[in-house]
Chain A
Amino acid sequence: MKLVIINYGSGNLHSVHKAFEAVNNNLENPYEIIVTNTPFEILNADKLVLPGVGAFQDCKNAIHKIDGLFESLEQVVIGEKKAFMGICVGMQLLAEKSLEFGECEGFGWIPGEVIKIEAPADYKIPHMGWNEVTFRNHELLNNISQNTDFYFVHSYYFRTQKNENCIATTKYPNPITAAVLKENIFGTQFHPEKSHNNGKQIITNFLEWEPS
């Protein structure tokens, strides 16, 4: 089984790769982990991970700059329904659009838009640090306690159009989407690769996940 981590120059690629590798080494049947941006490898993936930090538009442009990258992603994720996980901006890209630095279209895989966090004046932006996450029961959140802390760094968040696509939230002080899910497509606003043991558990759950 092949797990592809998409390399389009994202700053957290190394951390994501190392965290997945550490978890994968403890699995009974480890994946072959491939860090790549070639459509051929992506088309042969069994599971895919899209990291992302920085500005929404920069990430989207970087993906579209690589010939055939987006098209191959769309084919395996939307066409063949392979398990997919987006992290931080890699999750926000799933939205229809983002309002960061003007309007920018996303992948449109999950209905909703990426908007600025609205918080009282004494709340610092970016929302940076460890914050409690509450979630709906799902196998992707197995062995995680409610109100467990995960590491966040962001100024915008994904407001899903449908409640059913938001499976986890955090509070700052208003509710902020912490994780999204639609069929085979999963995404976290927090950084599992930086969330110590809880983050490793999320990665384990994703590696063991078989979307129906």
Chain B
Amino acid sequence: MLKKRIIPCLDVDRGRVVKGVNFVDLIDAGDPVEQAKIYNSEGADELCFLDITASSDERETLFEVVKKTAENCFIPLTVGGGVRTIDDISRLLHHGADKVSINTAAVENIDLVAKAAKKYGSSTIVIAVDAKKNGDKSWNIFTHGGRKPTDIDALEYCIEVANLGAGEILLTSMDRDGTKIGFDNELLSNVSSSIDIPVIASGGVGNLEHFAEGVLEGGASALLAASIFHFGEYSIKDVKTYLAEQNIAVRI
């Protein structure tokens, strides 16, 4: 049976790991390559790096981090943040990323999704969506790391990028991110039941039950978390053991 994936996410700023609470207040939590090695040995199913380096001339640090991680961790690595062009995707893949996640650039230029999927294969292209609730069963997407609102409907957007060849949706709830009150399972289940491609749940996980709810209520194929792992509240093994007890298939 296909396993539900547990994906630790590292926010990387100028080569260092940070995690924002509600996208502000950054706290340093270590060296990304060392962290990645720990997660790799603990049984993470994939790794995710989100580069939040603001200045483009400091983005080179990311390529080194990706390269070193790929040389040490033999599990899939998704890298996102600041990916704007086919050339950006190509460079990340060349340095050892397995999948590249695109956020703002896909919203501003939807053609990029189809072009990237055609050139590198759907399975390489993850579309990251930051969504915020704006009414009953309705969410709008935000761009620029959650700073810029749009009037684009999240569900319609996910359906569109799936049709254009995206391989996966990384769906972050802006309302839940950093709150530790659980994933927005209503958002997740609405998106996941409307598209054929896998959905990765992100934003809000605070305890073991939340992981299970993301699968059982949200219908997520994979569960992403950051601070809950970094600060040692729970290990990957704790999460997998708990999910297995709930009869959710995981790789032990």
* A interface residues, Cβ below 8 angstroms from B: 11-12, 14-15, 18-19, 22, 53-55, 58, 89, 124-132, 149, 151, 153-155, 171-172, 191, 193-196, 199-200
Contact = CB atoms under 8 A, between A and B. Distances in A.
Given A125-B196, A151-B75, A18 B120 contact: no
8 contacts: A18-B74, A54-B119, A54-B120, A125-B197, A127-B2, A128-B221, A149-B3, A200-B74
A196 B76 CA distance: 9
A155 B122 contact: yes
A22 to B, nearest CB: 7
A53 B121 contact: yes
B118 interface: yes
Which of B121, B123, B167 has most chain A Cβ within 10 Å?
B121
Given A11-B124, A128-B198, 16 more contacts: A12-B98, A18-B70, A19-B74, A22-B74, A58-B118, A58-B121, A89-B121, A125-B197, A126-B123, A129-B222, A130-B2, A131-B3, A193-B74, A194-B98, A196-B74, A196-B75
Contacts of B40: 196
B5 interface: yes
Contact of B121 (A55, A129, A151, A199): A55
Contacts of B124: 11, 53-54
Interface residue range, chain B: 20 to 34
Contact of A128 (B1, B74, B95, B167): B167
Contacts of A53: 120-121, 123-124
Interface of B: 1-5, 40, 45, 70-71, 74-76, 93-96, 98, 118-124, 167-168, 196-198, 221-222, 251
Nearest to A149: B251
Contact of A124 (B75, B95, B98, B221): B221
Contact of B74 (A130, A154, A171, A194): A194
Contacts of A196: 40, 74-75
Which of A126, A128, A131 has most chain B Cβ within 10 Å?
A128
Nearest to B99: A153
A129 B96 contact: no
Contacts of B197: 124-126
A124 B74 contact: no
Nearest to A18: B71
Given A124-B197, A149-B251, A194-B76, A129 B2 contact: yes
Nearest to A125: B196
A149 B1 CA distance: 9
Contacts of B70: 14-15, 18
A86 B38 CA distance: 30
Contacts of B167: 126, 128, 153
A177 to B, nearest CB: 16
